[in-house]
Amino acid sequence: MQTPKPSLTFSVHPSSGVPIYRQLMDQVQALVAGGKLAAGDTLPSVRQMAADLGVNMMTVSKAYAKLEAVGVLDRSRGKGMVVTEPKTAGSVADRQDQLRPLADQAVVRGLQLGLTSPQILDVFKASLGDHKS
Amino acid sequence: MNELAIEVTGLAKQFGAKEVLRGVDLQIPRGRVIGLLGLNGSGKSTLIKCLMGLLKPTSGSVTVLGRDAWHLDDQQKIQIGYVPQEISLYPWMTVRQTVDYVSAFYRTWDTKWSDELLRRWDLPLHDRFGPLSVGQKQKLSLVLALGHRPALLILDEPVASLDPVARRWFLESILEMAADEQHTVLFSTHITSDLERVASHVALMKDGKVVFHDELDVLKDQVKRLRLESAADLPASFAVRGSLCTEVEGRHAIVTVPVVSAELIDELKHRWTADVAVEDLNLEEIFLELHKH
């Protein structure tokens, strides 16, 4: 799969209270989690995505940079942003460290929604159940 | 080259006894698209006129493209595009004649680009300026401001009279211009949804000062509305320090805070034995919260 994913897969709502870069991050992560974006898939270039969505390029590059920081995307020379392989190398602690920012984000969101710790844990457990291989 | 497109320090402007600007500080690096928001009479247009060297500051300094705004010369002016709130051009000239006339002042005029804009915005080339509708006049004024591909574009409510289709074209043109991250755009507006789409940064004006200037994303990430539901009635003295506005009724309270944090939420939960729900606010809601009292 070398062809970039069309920006049509993405949609943003500029007037939402959620910043556009976070909307994009959430959508990429959801597509990866749902198997619609697989390792090695290429995302549209920053310029392309910004033009198609009619938003500022800075917003798109910010979303990409943050996704790169959490290890969902990899900047590949000449290909742009590529979805990373699920990582199985490195120590368990290392890999847990990589997961932590995402878990933090989910927990904060859960707290924002007024969920209790056990209720948040239930969501994680249910999600793990869905993805058992 | 100076990295700041605009640098305003301690700017004050009085008209007689009336103080319109009371110490504005604003630094805008090159390459940004920044939206200027504020109520009517908050000083947006006066600030913009000071940036353009159309008004002389009472005190403070205004530097545009590295030069004092009151003493801009051809070198800077040729790099600036400006759309004023009230557009006055020669009523007897046709659209075509107006564009030809204005373009003659600029060495760097891009005729292909201005023709493209005239076509996009569907302007009647052979109609005289005078009888054009307000929206058409505004579109023409935008063509004249964009035609020389200015390094700095300053727009005073550019979309107020545009229909939704023209507005979208306008926003796309702004994004096209800003795409190289070299061009700087500052525009004042009341249409927050347009600003949310194209602006990377936002400056909020209130009572003649810039009270907030940062990334739009930062503003949205930080300003939150908290809904508290306490186990018991909340006291009348209920308050959260730094809050923008607070409403209390019985066991419930709604508080808007300028900077949300996990610590703050924890503190509120413990102090008031309350459940706390956090709501995201869009720019319009944030703007309204800032002006509630």
- pLDDT, one tens digit per residue, over B111-146 is 999 999 999 889 999 999 999 998 899 999 999 999
Kindly report the nearest CA distance between residue A57 and chain B, in angstroms.
7
* B274/B192 same-domain check: no
The structural domain count of chain B equals 2
Domain boundary among B219, B246, B267: B219
Same structural domain for residues B124 and B161? yes
Residue with tokens 């979303």: A63
Note whether B165 and B284 are same-domain residues: no
A112 Cα to chain B: minimum distance (Å): 5
pLDDT of residue B56: 95
Closest by Cβ to A15, choosing from B196, B221, B276:
B196
Looking at residue A89, what is its pLDDT? 60
CB pairs under 8 A between A and B: 68
In degrees and rounded to multiples of 5, residue B245 shows phi and psi of -165, 150
pLDDT in tens, B46-80: 999 999 999 999 999 999 999 999 999 988 899 99
pLDDT at A24 over 70: yes
Query: Which residues constitute the domain of residue B274?
Result: 223-290
Interface test with A, best of B32, B167, B175 (most A CBs within 10 A): B175
Locate tokens 């209270």: which residue? A17
B135 and B53 co-located in one domain: yes
Closest-CA distance of chain A to residue B138, Å: 22
**Is the pLDDT at A91 greater than 80, yes or no?**
no
Q: Quick one: average pLDDT of B252-266? A: 90
* Same domain membership, residue B261 and residue B186: no
The verdict on a CB contact (< 8 Å) between B217 and A19 is yes
Q: A16 and B280: CB-CB below 8 Å?
A: yes
Say whether both B39 and B146 belong to one domain.
yes
Q: Which CATH number does the domain housing residue B27 bear?
A: 3.40.50.300
User: Which CATH number fits the domain that encloses residue B259?
Assistant: 3.30.70
**A103 interfacial to chain B (CB closer than 8 Å):** no
Residue B2: the pLDDT is 53
Reported confidence tier of residue B239, pLDDT bands at 50, 70, 90 = confident
Chain A touched by B128 (CB under 8 Å) = no
Same structural domain, B183 and B198? yes
In terms of domains, do B22 and B163 share one?
yes
B29 neighbourhood in chain A, CB within 8 Å = none
Given B219, B238, B259, the domain boundary residue is B219
Q: Is residue A51 left, alpha or beta, with left meaning phi > 0 and alpha meaning psi from -120 to 50?
A: alpha
User: Which residues in chain A are closer than 8 Å to B282, comparing Cβ atoms?
Assistant: 15-17
Domain final residue pick, B161, B188, B219: B219
Cβ of residue A58 closer than 8 Å to a chain B Cβ: yes
Q: Check whether residue B270 and residue B132 sit in a common domain.
A: no
Longest Cα–Cα distance in chain A: 46
What is the value of pTM for the model shown?
A: 0.81
**Are B110 and B149 a contacting pair, CB within 8 Å?**
yes
Between the alpha carbon of residue B225 and those of residues B204, B255, B285, the distances in Å are 19, 6, 10
B216 — contact with chain A (CB < 8 Å)?
yes
Q: What is the DSSP string of B44-80?
A: HHHHHHHHTTSS--SEEEEEETTEEGGG--HHHHTTE
B209 shares a domain with B96: yes
- The nearest CA of chain A is from the CA of B74 a distance in Å of 30
Same structural domain for residues B206 and B235? no
Asked whether residue B187 falls in the same domain as residue B211, the answer is yes
What residues of B are in contact with residue A59 (Cβ under 8 Å)? 200, 217
The nearest alpha carbon in chain A to B32 belongs to A58
How deeply is B71 buried, as exposed, middle or buried, from its count of CB atoms within 10 A (0-12, 13-18, 19+)?
A: exposed
ipTM of model over 0.90: no
Distance from CA of A108 to the nearest CA of B (A): 8
- Would you call A49 an interface residue with chain B, using a CB distance cutoff of 8 Å? no
Cβ distance A57 to B179 less than 8 Å, yes or no, reads yes
